[in-house]
Amino acid sequence: MNFLRSSIIIFVSIISIQAQAVASPESNLELKSPQQLTLYNGAPLEGYARGRVDENGLVFVVPLTVGEAEYTYDARQIKSLRFTDEVNIEQIESLLSLERRDDALALIEQIYLPRAAYLDLLSEQDRKTLCELVPLARHAGDPYLAVGMARRLLMAVEGEAHTSALRDQILLAYLDLPLPDETRKLAQAWIAREPHYGPSALGWVVLAQLEIEVGNWQAALDIALEPIVFSSQYPMEYLHDAYDMAILAAETLGDTPQAEALTDELEARGLPTPEDRKAGHAHE
Amino acid sequence: MPPLRPTAWIIIAILGLSLSLRAELVPREQGMQATLQEAMTAYERGDYARAAEAFAYTQATYGQEDAYRDLELQLLPYWGHACRQSGNSTQAIELFEAYLTRADPHAQHRHFVTYQLAEAYQTENMVEQAAATYQRYRAHDPYRPEALVSVLREAELYLNSGQTETGIQLLLSFANSPQVPRTLRAQARLRAVQATQAIGDDTRAADILLSAPWAIDTMPELAVLAFSALRAGDALMRELRTADAILAYRLVPPHSQLVTLQQARLQQLEQIRQQRLLPLAQSVPAFAFWQDYFTAIIASVQSQLEALRSMEDYTPGWQLRLGQAFLRDARPREATLLFRLLAEDNTLPTDIRTNAFYCWAMAQSELEQWDKVVDIAKAFQQIYPKQPLLAQTSYLAANAYQQQEQHSAAIEVLDWLIQSYPEHREQPRWRFTRGLNSALAQDYPAAREAFSRCLELYPNSHDKLQVKLWLGLCWFFPREYKHAISVLDPLLAEAKGHPLEAEIAYRRAMTLYAMAEYISAIDALNWLISDFPDAPQTLPAQVLLGDALMGTGDYQAASEQFSNVPDTDPALYAYAVFQQGKIFRAQQNYPAMIAHFRSYAESSALSPRPRLAEALYWAGWGLAQAGKPEQARQLFVETFARYGNDPQAGEMGELLHALGKQDIWSAAGTNARVMSYETWLEQERAAARESGEFTRYSRLSLASAALLRDAGKTNKADNILYDILEIAPPEQIDAKGLTELGWLLTRQGFSHAEELFSQQLEMYPKNRYTGRSLYGLGTLAASQQNYTEAEQWLARFQAETPYQADAAAVALLRAEVLLQLGQPAEAMDVCEELLTMKAARGRPHAEALLLMATISQEQGETTKAIAYAQRVYTLYRAYPDLLSRAYWQSAQWFLKLGDMNAAKRTLVEMTTDPRLDDFSEHDEALALLEELTQREPVHHKIEVTP
């Protein structure tokens, strides 16, 4: 591993910085708000992250009265890097609810792209906040961005809950794209990984959706019934979607008793019916 | 051990002692303060016995001192609490009662003491006092948390003292109160479920369980909920409330998940206890209250968790029961998923897996996935060849074979069952099903044998009447009506009041009708209709009564009977309508016939009438017969325009045929033709092809081909038919078309004719072309020397469509096929039956006789063979080709028997009939005759003249 020098002050020339840094495309974005860099052995610095060098290096520029100072730090010296601009999730959700997708997308990119190169240096809380942007990017109509964000965040976040949620978003984004063959493989991998009675039905729901899209209603019904059968009263995400699909498939196949039994059970189990979710999203 | 600090701080404050004294045990001899310090320190440390003893010592030693008297009232709550905690509830009651008597109504510890007193009463089983005290405790602020918990305690009091209903009611009222936090409500409801189950009222317990969602994210006793739900599910299953049983079982998580959840909930409870107690550090009563509460509940959950960990995994058994609930709730798909999971898990115990296999097969049977049923049974047998449930599972496999019409496979399984499990209680059912499969395979002798054996071995079996009914039917189907009636007559008497009585009566009436015993049949049907007005057999009986009346020649009565048939069953109603129309036709009452069919076709009934096009055809036919060709043509053309492209519309071929009559195209009142049929046909054909109406196109093409064939242009006709095959999808060709095209290909030796016949059978199973398709399939199979398959098709023809026009040809082919299969006796039976068919008189009879001659010869019965051949050249001289064969064979067989004179006579007779000169046998016959003539006349002893 390449240990970089600690706190080596190099110079004031922007040109020399750019020559040294191996920056990602995102790192070339202009950072309007300053960032706060906290090192394990010192007080916070306020300045601007200007890219990454080698694998673990951060180039950080601190404005001086005249010119600026450029620092290069090894990631292991850094306690946290905090961006000072506001991350307003509610604002994005509000824009989406108003169908202002382009504006929402712009806001997502405005938040995510400057941070993208520094995900490993952000606090866990900040990374979790960024995770919340992934489904919003999908809703804003950019599943590619959602996949990219989720894949990068997967390398940075910790905790099963978050990694699992990100994998789910990747699967949903593939479904949105649409890339049916790849989605099918991902869904099958998801199913192989997740236990019965687990916290989510997503893999089954996505697979059933793929079958519905090609008119294979019998397979869709059989697949959608899996999480329904192997669920208890403990919460399972996307379970109501599985019910919706199974009911639709049963109706399409002319199996009215099956469709009615599932509809009754959906209500008896207190799961949200399609009417309850009119304003909601299909796969959230 | 509970934390001590808060109590100590309070006591210190009460006593006004210096801080240096707290939390140290000092000798009592140092005085009252030291003794009290000992009591308080012991109390702080949870050493309640020592604290109680020290409090008692202080009172006994210093009770008369003013200093003690000043303090006594404040000490009583702690002393009483120490007594109660150390098991001396009697003294605790005295102390608490003393405190409440003497203390100020607004004293700080009054509520604490009241609650403690109620608890002490409860411990001493002083139910009324305890209940009253709890209620007094709640009186001033019933919704504070402690007061709410006291309700649970009071309910417990009732449950433990035999006042169960009072306790349950209190819990339910509490659980339904919106002012109570949801966790406590859930606890109360769960306790109500437990209490209700404990007194054996599982139905009510299940209803309580399912009355509202559970607070599973906060309620402590998840394991109790799971086990209560399991028990409730079982109870609901017993009551056949399967949908509710599923909901109850769904409250149960798998064992491993429950352990994890309960473990997490235990940790959560510990955290809540810490959070709850922390702010109460300065409040002795509240602290003590919640300390007690959490100690009890955590101990309970801890013990449940330990029990859960040490118990056997309930998951497979629960999943099995859930699967059975799905199965009984007519949700076999869900059931399949569970049963498959269990059956394929080789880590599970045998009883679970074998049950799962059996139930899995049942679920697949419900789904009519017959192949899978068979596969499951085979897998079961492979893994558990000696398990009792294998028998039931194999029976399901036999049923699956039966459903797939693989009757020989079904019989094989049933025979294995019958032999392998001779003492099994299902023997009668297996034997009946075995007979049924033989009957369905049209092997009636074997079926009768199975049914008879079943009755012989199990004369009192539950299904004996059904077995007897089928025994009768197995005489009826092969038209052995006398035998059938000999079974059905006594059976009807035996079935008095039995659910099968109406069915038996109907079958008996059918048999009488088939025997042409019309008067008896009419009596039987009238009795059935009057005695069983609501039976499902009554409607077909009404139709059959019409037929029986027709049989007696009483057309008027028959017509009235048919007109009385209600339209509740469209097919039977249509049959009655067409039978009535047939009577009008026979009576040449064309106006009535036209009106009758028009009325049927134009009915405003909500559901579409079957055979509409056919009705219009007959109305048109009536018009033509009534001398109204223009109206008839108009009706035919309109009907064809409306229904011509509907593959299901019947009589379209006949309609086109009727349009082919010349007079149909005459202008009204003249001999001039408005158009030629051929022109109309070609115009319509072109238009149908252009518009892609392939059903219409194929019908018109068939009609066109028929015209060409009549004109001797066979090749052109065939070309038109091939054109249909090329452009029309099979599913758009009607039954007549499929059959004719199938036969076209069959005659040319193309095996893919099979697809067309099969399509006809599948799409139009009850169509009158069915017999022709069966014959076609039999012919194809025979031509490919697949005689077993040929026999199946031809036997099916004889069973299903015995009066179809091809019956004679089918009988002859079947006899030949049976001969190929090495079944000469059966072949002979078929020929004998053919000889009884009036419709087969003439050439078919002659052919049958020739075949019988061949069979006899092959069996070594040459004399008998000659007799059959002689009948041909005696009775059927109109068929020279057959005559030639008969003579030639007879001559050879005479020779074989050594009767040269008879052989010569036969050859002379043959060779002197000039009609036989051109047949292949002629030259050989002449040669043989010459040879015999040149021989020296020999007088043989044998003279065969049958």
Lowest model confidence (mean pLDDT) among A32-41, B370-379, B871-880 = A32-41
Lowest model confidence (mean pLDDT) among B127-141, B468-482, B544-558 = B127-141
Q: What tens digit of pLDDT does each residue of A68-82 get?
A: 888 888 888 888 898
**Residue of B658, B676, B657, B674 whose CA lies nearest to B666:** B674
Reported as a pLDDT band with limits 50, 70 and 90, residue B281 is low
Give the span between the Cα atoms of B77 and B75, in whole angstroms: 6
Burial degree of B350 (CB within 10 A; 0-12, 13-18, 19+): exposed
User: CB distance from B253 to chain A under 8 Å?
Assistant: yes
Q: What tens digit of pLDDT does each residue of B502-524 get?
A: 999 999 999 999 999 999 999 99
Q: What is the pLDDT of residue B29?
A: 62
HSE at residue B810, side-chain half, CA atoms within 13 A, is 29
Cis peptide before A178 (omega within 30 of 0): yes
Q: What tens digit of pLDDT does each residue of B194-227 get?
A: 999 999 999 999 999 999 989 888 888 899 999 9
Contacts of A264 in chain B (CB under 8 A): 243
**Given this chain, do its domains B141-251 and B841-946 carry the same CATH topology?**
yes
Mean confidence (pLDDT) of chain B: 90
Give the span between the Cα atoms of B328 and B71, in whole angstroms: 72
The C-alpha of B353 sits at a distance from chain A's nearest C-alpha, in angstroms, of 18
E-only strand ranges, B706-751: none
Residue from A217, A234, A269, A271 to probe the interface with B (highest B Cβ count within 10 Å): A234
Cα torsion at A125, A130, A131, A133 (round to 10°)?
140
Cβ pairs A/B, distance under 8 A: 50
Mean pLDDT of B429-434: 97
CB distance A205 to A241 below 8 Å = yes
Which chain A residue lies closest to B322 (C-alpha atoms)? A229
User: CB distance from A1 to chain B under 8 Å?
Assistant: no
Give the span between the Cα atoms of B365 and B906, in whole angstroms: 65
Task: Decide if pLDDT at B609 tops 90.
Answer: no
Q: A225 vs B334: CB contact, 8 Å cut-off?
A: yes
Which chain A residue lies closest to B323 (C-alpha atoms)? A229
ipTM higher than the 0.90 cut: no
Lowest model confidence (mean pLDDT) among A87-91, B283-287, B311-315, B371-375 = B283-287
Lowest model confidence (mean pLDDT) among A184-188, B103-107, B375-379, B469-473 = B103-107
Give the span between the Cα atoms of A241 and B266, in whole angstroms: 32
Which among B213, B331, B337 has CB closest to A258? B331
**Residue of B594, B610, B568 whose CA lies nearest to B580:** B594
CB contact set of B204 (below 8 Å; sequence gap of 6+): B196
Q: What is the pLDDT of residue B346?
A: 94
Q: What is the pLDDT of residue B657?
A: 87
**Residue of B228, B223, B233 whose CA lies nearest to B308:** B223
Give the span between the Cα atoms of B777 and B757, in whole angstroms: 7
Reported as a pLDDT band with limits 50, 70 and 90, residue A26 is very low
User: CB distance from B272 to chain A under 8 Å?
Assistant: no
Q: A269 vs B250: CB contact, 8 Å cut-off?
A: yes
At how many degrees (to 10) do helices B5-15 and B66-85 cross? 160
Give the span between the Cα atoms of A49 and A30, in whole angstroms: 10
Residue from B261, B320, B337 to probe the interface with A (highest A Cβ count within 10 Å): B337
Mean pLDDT of B664-693: 84
CB distance B334 to B346 below 8 Å = no
Which chain A residue lies closest to B252 (C-alpha atoms)? A232
Task: Decide if pLDDT at B938 tops 60.
Answer: no
Q: Which residues pair with A8 in a beta bridge?
A: A72
Residue from A232, A245, A256, A260 to probe the interface with B (highest B Cβ count within 10 Å): A232
CB distance B901 to B918 below 8 Å = no
CB contact set of B273 (below 8 Å; sequence gap of 6+): B290, B294, B298
Contacts of A270 in chain B (CB under 8 A): 213
Contacts of B227 in chain A (CB under 8 A): none
Helix (H, G, I), strand (E, B) or coil at A36: strand
Mean pLDDT of B175-183: 91
Task: Decide if pLDDT at A180 tops 70.
Answer: yes
Q: What tens digit of pLDDT does each residue of B906-925 get?
A: 999 999 998 998 898 999 99
Is B841-946 CATH 1.25.40.10? yes
Give the span between the Cα atoms of B764 and B574, in whole angstroms: 17
Which chain A residue lies closest to B331 (C-alpha atoms)? A258
Neighbours of B166 (CB within 10 A): 17
Q: What tens digit of pLDDT does each residue of B691-726 get?
A: 999 999 999 999 999 999 989 998 999 999 999 999
Contacts of A229 in chain B (CB under 8 A): 326, 334, 337-338
Contacts of A254 in chain B (CB under 8 A): none
Sheet of A8-9: strand order equals: A8-9, A68-74, A57-63, A45-53, A35-39, A78-83
Q: B261 vs A222: CB contact, 8 Å cut-off?
A: no
Residue from B246, B333, B341 to probe the interface with A (highest A Cβ count within 10 Å): B333
Which among A232, A265, A270 has CB closest to B252? A232
Q: Which two tokens stand for residue B437?
A: 């499969």
User: CB distance from B586 to chain A under 8 Å?
Assistant: no
Region label for B569, one of left (φ > 0), alpha (ψ between -120 and 50) or beta (otherwise): beta
Q: What tens digit of pLDDT does each residue of B716-760 get?
A: 999 999 999 999 999 999 999 999 999 999 988 888 899 999 999
Give the span between the Cα atoms of A5 and B576, in whole angstroms: 103
- Exposure string for B782-803, b = 16+ CB within 10 A, e = fewer: beeeebeebbbbbbbbbbebbe
Neighbours of B104 (CB within 10 A): 8
Q: A225 vs B254: CB contact, 8 Å cut-off?
A: no
Give the span between the Cα atoms of B581 and B558, in whole angstroms: 11
User: CB distance from B247 to chain A under 8 Å?
Assistant: yes
Give the span between the Cα atoms of B747 and B754, in whole angstroms: 12
Give φ, ψ of A47 to 5 degrees.
180, -145
- Exposure string for B111-143, b = 16+ CB within 10 A, e = fewer: bbbbbbbbbbbbbeebbebbbebbeebbeeeee
Burial degree of B170 (CB within 10 A; 0-12, 13-18, 19+): buried
Quote the DSSP letter at residue B651: S
CB distance B458 to B431 below 8 Å = yes
C-alpha distances in Å from residue A262, one per residue of A147, A225, A237? 33, 10, 17
CB distance B280 to B6 below 8 Å = yes
Q: What is the pLDDT of residue B145?
A: 83
Q: B333 vs A221: CB contact, 8 Å cut-off?
A: yes
Give the span between the Cα atoms of A183 and B542, in whole angstroms: 62
- Exposure string for B308-343, b = 16+ CB within 10 A, e = fewer: beeeeebbbbbbbbbbbbbbbbebbbbbbbbbbbbb
Q: B331 vs A261: CB contact, 8 Å cut-off?
A: yes
H helical segments located in B311-388: 315-328, 332-343, 350-366, 370-383
User: CB distance from B209 to chain A under 8 Å?
Assistant: no
Task: Decide if pLDDT at B779 tops 80.
Answer: yes
Mean pLDDT of A149-156: 91
**Residue of A191, A213, A215 whose CA lies nearest to A204:** A191
**Residue of B740, B749, B710, B695 whose CA lies nearest to B722:** B740
Task: Decide if pLDDT at B4 tops 50.
Answer: no
Task: Decide if pLDDT at A30 tops 60.
Answer: no
Which amino acid is located at B181 in the chain? P
Q: What is the pLDDT of residue B606?
A: 55
Which chain A residue lies closest to B258 (C-alpha atoms)? A234
Contacts 24+ apart (CB under 8 A), A122-126: A122/A80, A122/A81, A122/A82, A122/A83, A122/A156, A123/A80, A123/A82, A124/A157, A124/A158, A126/A82, A126/A83, A126/A87
**Residue of B230, B304, B296, B293 whose CA lies nearest to B265:** B304
% of chain A with per-residue pLDDT over 90: 45
Reported as a pLDDT band with limits 50, 70 and 90, residue B936 is low
Residue from B228, B331, B369 to probe the interface with A (highest A Cβ count within 10 Å): B331
Residue from A197, A222, A233, A269 to probe the interface with B (highest B Cβ count within 10 Å): A233
Q: What is the pLDDT of residue B675?
A: 82
Q: B334 vs A228: CB contact, 8 Å cut-off?
A: yes
Task: Decide if pLDDT at A104 tops 90.
Answer: yes
Lowest model confidence (mean pLDDT) among A44-48, B23-27, B93-97 = B23-27
Q: What is the pLDDT of residue B604?
A: 66
Q: B247 vs A258: CB contact, 8 Å cut-off?
A: no
Lowest model confidence (mean pLDDT) among A140-144, B15-19, B426-430 = B15-19
Which amino acid is located at A201 in the chain? A
Task: Decide if pLDDT at B372 tops 80.
Answer: yes
Reported as a pLDDT band with limits 50, 70 and 90, residue A278 is low
Mean pLDDT of B95-122: 89
Lowest model confidence (mean pLDDT) among A85-89, A143-147, B20-24, B346-350 = B20-24
CB distance A112 to A149 below 8 Å = yes
Contacts of B329 in chain A (CB under 8 A): 261
Task: Decide if pLDDT at B113 tops 80.
Answer: yes
The C-alpha of B250 sits at a distance from chain A's nearest C-alpha, in angstroms, of 5
Which among A222, A233, A261 has CB closest to B214? A233
Q: What is the pLDDT of residue B670?
A: 66
User: CB distance from B325 to chain A under 8 Å?
Assistant: no
Q: Which two tokens stand for residue A62?
A: 């601190």
Give the span between the Cα atoms of B104 and A189, in whole angstroms: 72
User: CB distance from B251 to chain A under 8 Å?
Assistant: yes
Reported as a pLDDT band with limits 50, 70 and 90, residue B6 is very low
The C-alpha of B399 sits at a distance from chain A's nearest C-alpha, in angstroms, of 23
Task: Decide if pLDDT at B810 tops 60.
Answer: yes
Interface of A with B in 240-279 (CB under 8 A): 257-258, 261, 264-265, 268-270
Reported as a pLDDT band with limits 50, 70 and 90, residue B855 is very high
Task: Decide if pLDDT at A22 tops 60.
Answer: no
Q: Which residues pair with A72 in a beta bridge?
A: A8, A59
Give the span between the Cα atoms of A148 and A109, in whole angstroms: 12
Which amino acid is located at A217 in the chain? W
Q: What is the pLDDT of residue A283?
A: 40
Q: What tens digit of pLDDT does each residue of B338-361 get?
A: 999 999 999 999 999 999 999 999
Q: B253 vs A232: CB contact, 8 Å cut-off?
A: yes
Q: Kindly report the CA angle at A107 between A102 and A108, in degrees rounded to 5?
A: 95
**Which residue shows structure tokens 């047949």?**
B919
User: CB distance from A219 to chain B under 8 Å?
Assistant: no
Q: What is the pLDDT of residue A3?
A: 29
Contacts of A222 in chain B (CB under 8 A): 333
User: CB distance from A226 to chain B under 8 Å?
Assistant: yes
Give the span between the Cα atoms of B505 and B491, in whole angstroms: 9
Reported as a pLDDT band with limits 50, 70 and 90, residue B946 is very low
Give the span between the Cα atoms of B201 and B194, in whole angstroms: 10
% of chain B with per-residue pLDDT over 90: 68
Q: B337 vs A226: CB contact, 8 Å cut-off?
A: yes
Q: What is the pLDDT of residue B38?
A: 86
Q: B254 vs A197: CB contact, 8 Å cut-off?
A: yes
Domain positions in chain B are 1-108, 141-251, 253-311, 841-946
Q: What is the pLDDT of residue B282?
A: 64
Contacts of A261 in chain B (CB under 8 A): 243, 329-331
Give φ, ψ of A188 to 5 degrees.
-65, -40
CATH architecture of the domain formed by B141-251: Alpha Horseshoe (1.25)
Q: Which two tokens stand for residue B44?
A: 């702080």
As a whole number of Å, the end-to-end CA separation of chain A is: 41
User: CB distance from B337 to chain A under 8 Å?
Assistant: yes
Helix (H, G, I), strand (E, B) or coil at A35: strand
